[in-house]
Chain A
Amino acid sequence: MIAQIDVRAVLSRSVCEFHNDLVTRSTGRAVRSGIEAHLQEHPDVTVVVLDFSAVRVLDCSCADEVVAQLLLRTEPGAERGRSTYFVVRGLDEVHADQIDEVLRRHGLTLVAEERGGTKRLLGLATGPMRTAWEKVVSHGSAVAEDLASELSWPVDDARRALDDLAGHRLVMRADAQYLPLTAA
């Protein structure tokens, strides 16, 4: 199940209805708690789309709390870990820069859809991961053998890149197939 969360609306409920800006670390914590509470109430959600379209300013501290800490706390194996995939949507270039920066600092990666509809990976990803991800998205799915053939890679390299994507929750794995996060 896919859930779309309007981050500005969470800000409004969690902090103040008149705020348009995701600034300060304490605000970020409150918004992240609001998102986590929503996920707790909906355990059947597997893909979460965080919609930033209505957010005006996003600073580094808030991006760290809302996005990076959310990813860290929901990693498989973490205290609140479960198989949840995250996508960020409605980012302008400045938002994307902030999120990219904080993700890199934590060694995290995330699928993003900017306001023009362009999809890309934010944060830290190897070249093969980015190449493989673009193929998965453009083809709608991929298997290691086909990817290897298309890119003239050894099959093991193609499989490693796809497994890395799945391990970072950037694609879903279904048996031998790797699927893009369908909401992205």
Chain B
Amino acid sequence: MTAVVEVPVTFDDRAFEAFATALAAAGPGARVLVDAHATEWASPFGLVSLLCAGQAVRERTGSKALLTVPADKDVAAYWARTGFFQEAEELFEIHGAVPKVRQPPENTVLLEVTPVRVAGDVHKVVDRIQDRSAAILATELGLEAKATLSFGMALSEACQNIVEHAGTGGWVAVHAYTWRRRLGKRVVVIAVADPGVGFRRSLEPTQARRYGDRWGDGAALEAALIQGVSRFREPGRGQGFRGIRKYLDRWEGKISIRSGTARIAMVRDWDEDVPLREGLAPFPGAQLQLVIPAQAEAEP
């Protein structure tokens, strides 16, 4: 029997919960069809999360999930230009025509979907983003030139969570686009996701006893993001999220992380998110999103 998991029409971090719930309901042994034929748009968070789902299903069932390509040719072409299908073909049995990429990604794609497994991958990611992002961050988002260097720092720290803690590989993607419904501004969005052990299992050996009955996915996310706790005991550890938060504070940016059955967010005035949600559908690993909005002086 095949369980059908629909990819939402607009697949971003909010719509992700419906997707995760459907995937969890598929059960451990069922063949899974990830149905994206009706999907009209996917954020970088949606794209890298889909890859996590594909890897998780393959590990769980021993066979690739099926994936239907978006029926809308423009949508499918966009997914192709983001580099999604290049990674997806390893994880999914793809059904439908995958457009050939004949042109480089438009400048909305600052970084294609890129695998992150080892420290050298983080170097490549930072190197690529520095070259591509400077102009966009300055002209479209109104960030100072030095913000580009901090942007590389934030991206590096976000990716290192995979290398240091996930226990498996993951992916990163960075896009710039207009967030009409939620903000009415241009934003740059960094999405980093892995289907690994997640924050709770990573921190459990050193933190679970300290939290007692309160220990769980939500407590683990709070420990990592708010208190800067790391699974490593050395005093210099856990500084990555501190650095990311400082950068986001400077530019009114937002971070949200989903791991296991919980999701945490540093909510800004411009957003309607909630700081912590628990009891969500289980989803493997960790999925992180950074949003940097255009500043007031940015070009329209």
Given the complex of chains A and B, what is the CA–CA distance between A102 and B240 in angstroms? 10
Q: Which one of A24-32, A38-46, A150-158, A173-181 is at the B interface? A: A24-32
Asked whether any CB of chain A lies closer than 8 Å to the CB of B239, the reply is: yes
Given the complex of chains A and B, what is the CA–CA distance between A24 and B149 in angstroms? 15
- B146 contact set on A, CB distance < 8 A: 92-94
Could you tell me if B236 and A102 are in contact, using CB atoms closer than 8 angstroms? yes
Could you tell me if B243 and A59 are in contact, using CB atoms closer than 8 angstroms? yes
- A160 contact set on B, CB distance < 8 A: none
Instruction: Give the residues from 281 to 297 in chain B that come closer than 8 angstroms, CB to CB, to chain A.
Output: none
Residues 145-160 of B, flagged 1 when their CB comes within 8 A of A and 0 if not, give 0100110110011001
Q: Which one of A61-69, A126-134, A163-171 is at the B interface? A: A61-69
Asked whether any CB of chain A lies closer than 8 Å to the CB of B130, the reply is: yes
Closest to A55 in B: B149
Could you tell me if B236 and A105 are in contact, using CB atoms closer than 8 angstroms? yes
Could you tell me if B239 and A23 are in contact, using CB atoms closer than 8 angstroms? no
Could you tell me if A68 and B236 are in contact, using CB atoms closer than 8 angstroms? yes
Q: How many residues of A contact B (CB 8 A)?
A: 28
Could you tell me if B153 and A60 are in contact, using CB atoms closer than 8 angstroms? yes
Asked whether any CB of chain A lies closer than 8 Å to the CB of B119, the reply is: yes
Q: Taking A57-B156, A59-B157, A61-B157 as contacts, is the C-beta distance between A19 and B127 under 8 angstroms?
A: yes
Could you tell me if A57 and B149 are in contact, using CB atoms closer than 8 angstroms? yes
Contact of A21 among B152, B157, B163, B164 (CB under 8 A): B152
Could you tell me if A23 and B236 are in contact, using CB atoms closer than 8 angstroms? no
How near does chain B come to A18, taking the closest CB pair, in angstroms? 8
Q: Taking A19-B123, A24-B119 as contacts, is the C-beta distance between A59 and B156 under 8 angstroms?
A: yes
Instruction: Give the residues from 110 to 162 in chain A that come closer than 8 angstroms, CB to CB, to chain B.
Output: none
Asked whether any CB of chain A lies closer than 8 Å to the CB of B73, the reply is: no
Closest to B147 in A: A94
Residues 89-132 of B, flagged 1 when their CB comes within 8 A of A and 0 if not, give 00000000000000000000000000000011011001100100
Contact of A16 among B120, B153, B240 (CB under 8 A): B120
- B164 contact set on A, CB distance < 8 A: 25
* Most A-side CB within 10 Å, residue of B122, B123, B163: B123
Could you tell me if A101 and B123 are in contact, using CB atoms closer than 8 angstroms? no
Contact of B240 among A58, A60, A65 (CB under 8 A): A60
Could you tell me if B153 and A25 are in contact, using CB atoms closer than 8 angstroms? no
Contact surface of B with A, Cβ cutoff 8 Å? 119-120, 122-123, 126-127, 130, 146, 149-150, 152-153, 156-157, 160, 163-164, 235-236, 239-240, 242-243, 246
Please name 15 pairs of A and B residues whose Cβ atoms are closer than 8 Å in the assembled complex, sorted by A: A16-B123, A21-B123, A21-B127, A23-B123, A23-B160, A26-B119, A57-B126, A57-B152, A59-B157, A59-B240, A60-B157, A60-B242, A60-B243, A69-B236, A105-B235
Contact surface of A with B, Cβ cutoff 8 Å? 16, 19-21, 23-27, 56-61, 64-65, 68-69, 92-94, 97-98, 101-102, 105-106
